[in-house]
Amino acid sequence: MSTRILDTLPRFTRRALCATGLLAIAITSHAADYPTRPIELIVPWAVGGGTDAVARAFADVAGRNLPQPVIVVNRPGASGSIGHTEGANAKPDGYKLTMVTPEVSLAYLQGIGKTQWQDFNYIARINADPIALVVKADAPWTTLEQFLAHVKSHPGKTTVSNSGVGATYHLAAIALEKKANIEFNNVPYIGAGPAVVGLLGGQVDATFATTGEVGIHVQGGKLKMLAVMSDKRLKDFDQVPTFKERNIDLQLGTWRALAAPKSTPADVMATLRKVVDKATQDPAYREFFKRQYLGLVNEDGDKFRVALERENAFYSDIVGKLALGK
């Protein structure tokens, strides 16, 4: 008996089934048949950003390893809170998943949303990238020092785009302001993709993003990276110094994790975990990540939860120190 049929039964009948254990058997049977219809994958950000790219790449390979397609649905707004909340509150049957990002913690800590990282059941983290400071290729600054000197001499005038108020890239800008004793004119967009388009179009002077959003433009000669917030230089951009090399101790990045609502059946979670494993071994999927300069990761959801707990504590501390929050 499927859950769709069960939903049509009178309440007393469902209670009787529960009492006899038949409901559990029915749900288990349903999970074993999963999926029997298309799966939605919510992206809490606009089309064109790194999260959108990761989600669409995964959806493509997942659709080739499941009997039903995976359809990406963008739900941008409120620093990712709109999409994260919809995903967390979905029916826990595996038919609405979410590509969760660090803003699930950041937005909550800043009072922007009510959804927390604990509201999801994590399948796997599938991507991680450090944040970089990027300007147009024809900008007058060729080094981080030159850029910071300009900002310091023009307080509040240098425009820097980000993916939304309270988002990871906005946090990176505020952290740099504090570390370097400077002041930007922070310009929020509805996602990293639009924020980068704003830079390409000359609407802003700089942006904070990852190589997944700007790598192709940097290699194509349209943008240039001044520094990266990682512990070491990036393989594909080894000419770009780290902030730490320039005596600014900043290491911040972003990640994308595939998640389901809490209480999603174990059989469904296991099926999706196998799909992630298959995707990671798929040549076309791996090539896409390499071509887009995205960091390919396959970290089990249970292990990732431990990292999330540590990260949430870090964000809680830094949000407090930067005078952000509720």
Prediction pTM value: 0.85
Percent of the chain at pLDDT above 70?
A: 90
Q: pLDDT tens across 86-125, in order?
A: 999 999 999 999 999 999 999 999 999 899 999 999 999 9
In CATH, the number for domain 34-129+254-321 is 3.40.190.150
Contact 110, 104 (CB under 8 A): no
Q: pLDDT tens across 164-188, in order?
A: 888 999 999 999 999 999 999 999 9
* Domain limits, CATH 3.40.190.150, in the chain: 34-129+254-321
Residue predicted with more confidence, 32 or 69: 69
Q: pLDDT tens across 49-72, in order?
A: 999 999 999 999 999 999 999 999
Q: Which residues contact 36 (CB under 8 A, 6 or more apart)?
A: 2, 67, 68
In CATH, the number for domain 132-251 is 3.40.190.10
Q: pLDDT tens across 250-264, in order?
A: 999 999 999 999 999
What is the spatial distance between Cα 170 and Cα 182, in angstroms, rounded to a whole number? 15
Give the single-character DSSP code of 165: T
* Domain limits, CATH 3.40.190.10, in the chain: 132-251
Residue predicted with more confidence, 289 or 317: 289
Q: CA angle 143-149-152, nearest 5°? A: 145
Q: CA angle 267-273-276, nearest 5°? A: 150
Structural Rg of the chain based on CA atoms: 21
Q: Crossing angle for the helix pair 283-291 and 266-281, nearest 10 degrees?
A: 70
